[in-house]
Amino acid sequence: MKRNTIKNHSDFIAGENDPTARCAYFLVRTKSAKYPNDARYGLIVTKKTFKHAVDRNHAKRLIRDWIEFNEDLMCDEQDYIFIIRQAILDANRDSGREAMRKALCYLKNQPTNA
26-85 pLDDT, tens digit per residue, is: 999 998 888 777 788 999 999 999 999 999 999 999 999 999 999 888 888 888 999 999
- Domains of the chain with bracketed CATH: 4-108 (3.30.230.10)
d(CA 80, CA 43): 9
Q: Is 108 exposed, middle or buried (0-12, 13-18, 19+ CB in 10 A)?
A: middle
Range with lowest mean pLDDT among 35-39, 54-58, 99-103, 105-109: 35-39
CA dist 35 → 50, 98, 108 (Å): 31, 28, 19
